[in-house]
Amino acid sequence: MSGAPPPAIEVHDLTVSYHAKPVLWDIDVEIPAGQLVGVVGPNGAGKSTLLRAILGLVRPASGWVRIDGEPRRRGRHGCGYVPQRESVDWDFPVDVLDVVLMGTYGNLGWFRRPGRRERERAMHALEQVGMQDLARRQIAELSGGQQQRVFLARALAQDAPVYLMDEPFSGVDAATEAAIFEVLRTLRAAGRTVVVVHHDLQTVEEYFDHVLLLNLRLVAAGPIRDTFTRENLLATYGGRLTLLDEAAEAVRRGSVDTTAWRPPPDGAS
Amino acid sequence: MIPVEYNTAVVLLGTAALGLAAGSTGSLALLRGRALLSDALAHATLPGICLAFLLTGSRSHPALLLGALATGALGVVLVAALSRRGRIKEDAAIGAVLACFFGAGIALSGAIQRRSPDAAQAGLDGFLLGQPAGMLLSEALTIAGVAVATLLLVALLAKEWKLVCFDPDFAAIEGWPVRLLDLLLMLLITTTVVLALPAVGVVLAAAILIIPATAARLWVDRLVPMLILASSFGVLASVTGTLLSARFPALPTGPLIVLAAGSLFLISLLVSPRRGIVARATAERRRRRERERRRLLGTIFTEQEAAPESPVSEGALARRRVWGPGRLRAHLEDARRRGWIRWGPRGIELTDAGRQRAARIVRASRIWEQYLLSQAQIDRDLIDLDAEEIGHLLPPHLVAELERSLADRGLLPLGSEGSPA
């Protein structure tokens, strides 16, 4: 086959509903490979559900999803995933390294235990998020930002071509926010595709190349420059005034700071 | 070794093996949120035992335990169906199934008792509260065999079950068959509970799964140590209960085993080094004392700030009504011993070290206050009122902005700018 490479993620006709209430309505979108992609929209817009549908964790009423041009593989080498921090019990009896090692289980297969190679991979992932010194820390003793970084390290240990992250920037301290963004850029530089559910309109232009504006339906999708516009944000957020002002502010700032998106200089945080 | 009779030795073998299996199985049940379900399961076995007796007329363990397995599993399936399709909360479904099945079991055993009192006396009553005294060697060996198989299975699937218990969504994404692993775990729990019936009975069977595991969790923070410790606690409780019952034949074995496990739990709850009540209370007391110290330094600092020329008197601090006179005196004495304040000729003075620390404390608390007052979107997770340094918690530009607005109103403590991190 020749021509353009297949999109990293292709979603066709996707509708998800709980009983009669739609959560996502007829989503049709292609996500290009090798980009940082933000998924933006108001609360209850279905952002997390979109990720969960792409991952196969919710059964859609209709539609299908392809990853790298193929039907989603239930097994290994699928998607890296960073769930919302609140989705697990942080009082579980494991330490930081145990959690990160879980990212290597997929390659290990049944019954085999993580060995030296897996441990090295996990430690490398921890170094990337700046947590190598806390490898033996019980997870209940971590701060919120550190917990988020553990989840990110676990996803890095998965070593997947496509990453899906649900609000990794929410409720994290400044150091963690910088560390996460650094990891995102490293992933992009390695040709990975990263899709991030994001709630902070102020940082969308700084962080992402491509954006999906979502509110039950897909309002717009495309490169930041063409898509993250005032009209589109109005269409996404409707009459929610405070958010609207914030959106206007973000757009105004954006028009001053960046005419076209450029990666920030190295070492910026 | 304590000399024991042959009978007691057989019972010891059986109950110890049971404790071994129940500790590990119980730990996994607990971590997967199945503790309550295993109790419902245990109660749901009673009608099965009675029905098996009615159908076969036999008092042999295999037949009755098969009956127990059948209705126990039925109860679990019913709970799952009710809480999934019927939109009933799981705890309500568990409560309903537990009570109905147990009620049916009691009714059936009443009917049996009227028809043939002897059989009931000999066989069925033992299943209610356990009656291991009459355990045969073959039965004890069966339990031991199942216990060994249980441990092997747990060792084999520890990684898989750890993943499913901690984060089932992640397990599903990685391609693990979560439902199959859950089903296997439920089968393991069911087998252990049914095996426990002759020894500790329907009412208490779940206890020997749940209590040793809960006690073990208080001591250790990783899965494999928890499995090992829970199994050890299970064996210890079983042996203690059995030996006590052999020494005092009037006391039934099953309840004694559960009480022994309960004692282990109680001791763990009190004295475990990090999660124990004593340790927690000590840590909390220390934290509170530290907070009081900071408050005193901050108060002296603000008094001095308000009137730099006049010294701070004990009376002025007392007028703040934060501490009673006795407390205040004790706190001041403590601060003096730590070298933060001294008694000057005209009142209380901060030493250089005390002033530096006090300025840091006041600066941090005012920045937090300013943050709460001025920011539209407050991130609760970031706020740590005990932190004296906030540079790593808030973005640097925000800290600078908050400091500027404090300085504009003359509220930025002098001497805090160059304070060490």
Closest partner residue to A173 (CB to CB) among B157, B165, B392 is B392
* Residue scoring higher pLDDT (A2 or A196): A196
Do B410 and B341 lie in one domain? The reply is: no
The burial class, CB within 10 Å (0-12 / 13-18 / 19+), for B42 is buried
Q: Is B302 left (phi over 0), alpha (psi -120 to 50) or beta?
A: alpha
* Euclidean distance between CA atoms A241 and A224, whole angstroms: 23
* Closest CA of chain B from A201, distance in Å: 12
Write out chain B residues lying below 8 Å of A99, CB-based: 166
Do B90 and B134 lie in one domain? The reply is: yes
Which helix H or strand E contains B46, and what residues bound it?
helix B45-56
Residue B1 lies in a domain: no
A interface with B, Cβ–Cβ < 8 A, is 52, 55-57, 73-76, 78-79, 81, 83, 87-89, 92-95, 98-99, 102, 105-106, 108, 110-114, 138, 140, 144, 154, 158, 171-175, 177, 242
- The number of folded domains in chain B is 3
Do B70 and B194 lie in one domain? The reply is: yes
Q: Of B175, B207, B239, which residue is a domain's last?
A: B207
pLDDT at A243: 56
Judged by CB atoms closer than 8 Å, whether chains meet at A105 and B174 is answered as yes
Do B102 and B193 lie in one domain? The reply is: yes
Judged by CB atoms closer than 8 Å, whether chains meet at A177 and B395 is answered as yes
* Closest CA of chain B from A174, distance in Å: 5
B155 at interface of A, judged by CB pairs closer than 8 A: no
Would you state the structure tokens that stand for residue A78, as one six-digit string? Answer: 């699928």
Is pLDDT above 90 for A98?
yes
Of B46-55, B72-81, B256-265, B374-383, least confident by mean pLDDT is B374-383
* Closest CA of chain A from B356, distance in Å: 26
Do B152 and B131 lie in one domain? The reply is: yes
Over residues B216-237, mean pLDDT: 97
Closest partner residue to A102 (CB to CB) among B163, B175, B393 is B163
Is pLDDT above 60 for A215?
yes
Mean pLDDT of chain B: 88
* Closest CA of chain B from A217, distance in Å: 25
pLDDT at B115: 79
Chain A: residue nearest B382 by CA?
A173
* Euclidean distance between CA atoms B254 and B203, whole angstroms: 10
Distances in Å between the alpha carbon of A152 and those of A52, A85, A128, A167, A215?
17, 10, 9, 11, 26
pLDDT confidence band for B315 (50 / 70 / 90): confident
Judged by CB atoms closer than 8 Å, whether chains meet at B393 and A174 is answered as yes
Do B374 and B327 lie in one domain? The reply is: no
Write out chain A residues lying below 8 Å of B175, CB-based: 73-76, 78, 106
Instruction: Give per-residue pLDDT as tens, B369-414.
Output: 888 887 766 666 677 777 777 766 777 778 888 888 888 888 888 6
Judged by CB atoms closer than 8 Å, whether chains meet at A99 and B166 is answered as yes
Would you state the structure tokens that stand for residue B289, as one six-digit string? Answer: 């004392």
Of A210-214, B9-13, B135-139, B413-417, least confident by mean pLDDT is B413-417
Do B186 and B297 lie in one domain? The reply is: no
Residue B246 lies in a domain: no
pLDDT confidence band for B415 (50 / 70 / 90): low
Residue B239 lies in a domain: no
Over residues B109-115, mean pLDDT: 84
Strands A162-166 and A79-82: parallel
Q: Which of A92, A134, A156 to mutate to test the interface with B (most CBs of B within 10 A)?
A: A92
Would you state the structure tokens that stand for residue A226, as one six-digit string? Answer: 């063409």
The stretches of B167-275 forming alpha helices (DSSP H) are: 168-173, 178-217, 223-247, 253-271
pLDDT at A266: 43
Judged by CB atoms closer than 8 Å, whether chains meet at B222 and A74 is answered as no
High-pLDDT (> 70) share of chain A, %:
85
Mean pLDDT of chain A: 87
Over residues B81-98, mean pLDDT: 87
Judged by CB atoms closer than 8 Å, whether chains meet at B221 and A99 is answered as no
Over residues A54-75, mean pLDDT: 84
Would you state the structure tokens that stand for residue B268, as one six-digit string? Answer: 């763990």
Residue A73 DSSP SS3 = coil
Do B125 and B100 lie in one domain? The reply is: yes
Do B63 and B194 lie in one domain? The reply is: yes
The burial class, CB within 10 Å (0-12 / 13-18 / 19+), for A188 is middle
Write out chain A residues lying below 8 Å of B29, CB-based: none
Do B18 and B156 lie in one domain? The reply is: yes
Write out chain A residues lying below 8 Å of B383, CB-based: none
Chain A: residue nearest B27 by CA?
A93
Residue B232 lies in a domain: no
* Euclidean distance between CA atoms B306 and B302, whole angstroms: 6
- Give, as one character, the DSSP assignment of residue A32: -
Residue B144 lies in a domain: yes
Beta strands in chain A (DSSP E): 9-18, 21-31, 36-40, 62-67, 70-71, 79-82, 162-166, 193-197, 210-215, 217-223
Residue B67 lies in a domain: yes
Dihedral of CA atoms B282, B288, B289, B290 in degrees, nearest 10, equals 110
pLDDT at A258: 39
Whole-model pTM?
Answer: 0.86
Is pLDDT above 80 for B107?
yes
* Euclidean distance between CA atoms B205 and B130, whole angstroms: 9
For residue B366, which amino acid is it? R
Write out chain A residues lying below 8 Å of B162, CB-based: 94, 98, 102
Of A78-82, A164-168, A236-240, least confident by mean pLDDT is A236-240
Q: What's the complex ipTM? A: 0.88
* Closest CA of chain A from B156, distance in Å: 6
Do B121 and B82 lie in one domain? The reply is: yes
- Find which of A156-165, B52-61, B342-351 is predicted with most confidence, using mean pLDDT: A156-165
Q: Of B156, B181, B207, which residue is a domain's last?
A: B207
Chain A: residue nearest B399 by CA?
A174
* Closest CA of chain B from A235, distance in Å: 23
pLDDT at B413: 82
Q: Which of B30, B156, B166, B224 to mutate to test the interface with A (most CBs of A within 10 A)?
A: B166
pLDDT at B243: 94
Write out chain A residues lying below 8 Å of B84, CB-based: none
pLDDT at B47: 95
High-pLDDT (> 90) share of chain A, %:
66
**The CATH number of the domain where B42 resides is what?**
1.10.3470.10
* Residue scoring higher pLDDT (A250 or B346): B346
Instruction: Give per-residue pLDDT as tens, A229-256.
Output: 888 998 898 766 455 566 666 666 654 4
Range of the domain at B307: 292-350
Interacting residues of B174 by C-beta distance below 8 A, sequence separation 6+: A75, A76, A78, A105, A106, A158, B163
Is pLDDT above 80 for A61?
yes
Is pLDDT above 50 for B421?
no
B176 at interface of A, judged by CB pairs closer than 8 A: yes
pLDDT confidence band for B262 (50 / 70 / 90): very high
Over residues A192-213, mean pLDDT: 94
Is pLDDT above 60 for B2?
no
Q: Of B148, B174, B207, which residue is a domain's last?
A: B207
pLDDT at A265: 44
pLDDT at B120: 56
Do B318 and B199 lie in one domain? The reply is: no
pLDDT confidence band for B161 (50 / 70 / 90): very high
pLDDT at B304: 85
Q: Which of B174, B184, B378, B384 to mutate to test the interface with A (most CBs of A within 10 A)?
A: B174
pLDDT at A257: 43
pLDDT at A171: 83
Residue B233 lies in a domain: no
pLDDT confidence band for B318 (50 / 70 / 90): confident
Judged by CB atoms closer than 8 Å, whether chains meet at A102 and B175 is answered as no
Judged by CB atoms closer than 8 Å, whether chains meet at B223 and A93 is answered as yes
The burial class, CB within 10 Å (0-12 / 13-18 / 19+), for A17 is middle
Is pLDDT above 60 for B416?
no
Q: Which of B159, B160, B170, B383 to mutate to test the interface with A (most CBs of A within 10 A)?
A: B170
Residue B318 lies in a domain: yes
